Amino acid sequence: MKKIYRLIILLIGLSSVSTAQTTIPMYSNVLFYDGYASLVSAPTPPGVFRLRNDLFTRKMTASELAQIGTTLSISISISAACDNYDRIGNVNLALVPKGATSYDLATTQRIELGRYITPFVNKNVAPNLVPYAFNIDNVAKILKDTNLNILYDFWVEFELFGVPYAANTEIAGCAGRNDVFYGTVNFISNTTFDTPNNAYLLPLNFKKDLNNYQVGATDVIGETVRTVNFTLPSAINNSKFHLIVSNHGANSGGEEYNRRWHFIYLDNNQVLTYRPGESTCEPYRIYNTQPNGIYGATPKAPFTWQSFSNWCPGAIIPIRTISLGDLAAGAHSFKISVPTAVFNGGQGYFPVSVYLQGENTVLSVADYNIVSYDIFPNPAKESININCNNTIKSLQLFDVQGREVQTIMVNKLDSKMDVSNHSKGIYFLKIDTENGQFTEKIIIE
């Protein structure tokens, strides 16, 4: 019996060693300001840069990266300054060319690691600290991958858009102020360092709005559908989409508090169907200390929450991981469709973030020069827009007989081609980028 007892103690000891964790501070109580106002000049901590009033960034150091093991989670805490409404915030990872001291938000590859919603909170009422936690073990492989570390520095962004206008009159002590929230971010990892060097990463869509009324937000005006085409230079294994979507605003009867079916496709094959929303928002009531929120004075039954709320103020937005298996080299597409969405008065949107991650042991540094691009609208009447993550050198339009009917030189990441003078019908657009040539079918109507 004594021997069994000692064995149990030994196993417990080994278990505690294998699950030892380390906390890596990213941001400590930084202060966000009015997202609509001019950039403030308030000082930031050493190494932290304010890109906008709602967005900070900082480069991860070699020492911090060395502490990342095989697991990774994000711990966020938000406290109110002078904003008392539910707002969207997120933590992002920017892949910045090695050695750069700054970067351009419009051209840098970025992925969203986690999204959260602030509660309706009065800064003068306890509790005034809201915790959020995300498990992002897959990102540990990205941060530890040798090829990616040769190409990039990893910058961690902390984002939270807020406005003080309601709090200026509704919250005591907020008159005339433009600070909105305080925030802290920590990375938490274990101390096991046997992560394999075979991570493949392809950012596909970073917080681009999806709706049915704006050119570029949707494939076709009138339909809530967005397609992102991408090309794999070689096959990858155990691939997954990592998807974050939240429905926001649209007047009465619109999207913010209605649960719609979402359909996700790989290469036009459906791979996920879901409706957003939790079974109940009651666990977050404690943080909603401002009485003009959606909670009311008494608890609501689960069926009531499920009848109208697709997010809970004070909660995280789920990261939906979609297993795709092994993917062959060549052209592929991601598509999201929300066919019953309603955007009353041309308002409301779904911020969509998605990236592809997989494994490939044969990729070299050169193979990370991947190309993804968007073409919209298609069909087109007047013009087509082309956005790409690689420099577009030229665009050529061919008719169905293979005759070249239009060519433009570009030398940038985006372009617009006027097609209003061409006859209705099917055409082929050849996109010549710095990392390859691609052809897509275009319909002019």
What are 149-187's pLDDT values in tens digits?
Answer: 888 999 999 999 999 999 999 999 999 999 999 999 999
- 413 within 8 A of 392, measured Cβ to Cβ: yes
- 146 within 8 A of 197, measured Cβ to Cβ: yes
The predicted structure's pLDDT at residue 368: 57
The predicted structure's pLDDT at residue 294: 87
pLDDT at 194 > cutoff 80? no
Residue 243, helix vs strand vs coil: strand
pLDDT at 16 > cutoff 60? no
| CATH class, 377-445 region | mainly beta
Residues 6+ apart with CB under 8 A from 75: 23, 131, 132, 133, 185, 186, 187, 188
Residue 267 CA neighbour count, 13 Å, CB half: 9
Tokens 């917080």, located at residue: 207
Which of the four CATH numbers 3.30.70.270, 1.10.645.10, 3.20.20.210, 2.60.120.230 does domain 198-368 have? 2.60.120.230
* More reliable by pLDDT, 341 or 439: 341
CATH of domain 20-196: 2.60.120
Residues 6+ apart with CB under 8 A from 60: 143, 153, 154, 155, 156
pLDDT at 8 > cutoff 50? no
How much is the average pLDDT of 433-441?
79
- 173 within 8 A of 167, measured Cβ to Cβ: no
Euclidean distance between the first and the last CA atom of the chain, given in angstroms as a whole number: 83
The predicted structure's pLDDT at residue 379: 87
CA 307 distance to own-chain centroid: 27
- 26 within 8 A of 134, measured Cβ to Cβ: no
The predicted structure's pLDDT at residue 242: 98
Q: What is the mean pLDDT of the chain?
A: 89
Q: What is the pLDDT of residues 226-283, one digit of tens each?
A: 999 999 988 999 999 999 999 887 777 788 888 999 999 999 999 999 999 999 999 9
pTM score: 0.82
Q: What is the CA radius of gyration of the chain?
A: 24
In sequence order, what E strands does 98-212 have? 109-117, 130-135, 152-160, 179-190, 199-210
Beta bridge partners of 228: 334
3-class DSSP string for 319-370: CEEEEEEEECCEEEEEEEECCCCCCHHHCCEEEEEEEEEEECCCCCHHHHCC
Name the percent of the chain lying above pLDDT 90: 67
CA 425 distance to own-chain centroid: 36
Least confidently predicted of 12-21, 131-140, 342-351? 12-21
Q: What is the pLDDT of residues 397-412, one digit of tens each?
A: 988 777 889 999 888 8
- Name the residue type at position 41: S
- 46 within 8 A of 86, measured Cβ to Cβ: no
pLDDT at 305 > cutoff 90? yes
Cα angle 159, 165, 171; round to 5: 100
Confidence of residue 367 (pLDDT cuts 50, 70, 90): low
Confidence of residue 207 (pLDDT cuts 50, 70, 90): very high
The predicted structure's pLDDT at residue 111: 97
The predicted structure's pLDDT at residue 412: 86
Q: What gap in Å lies between CA 374 and CA 240, rounded to an integer?
A: 20
pLDDT at 17 > cutoff 90? no
Name the percent of the chain lying above pLDDT 70: 93
Tokens 């392809």, located at residue: 202
In sequence order, what E strands does 360-403 have? 371-376, 383-399
Structural domain boundaries in the chain: 20-196, 198-368, 377-445
Within this chain, domains 198-368 and 377-445 share the same CATH topology: no
How much is the average pLDDT of 110-117?
97
Using DSSP, how many helices (H) and how many strands (E) does the chain show?
6, 23
The predicted structure's pLDDT at residue 5: 37
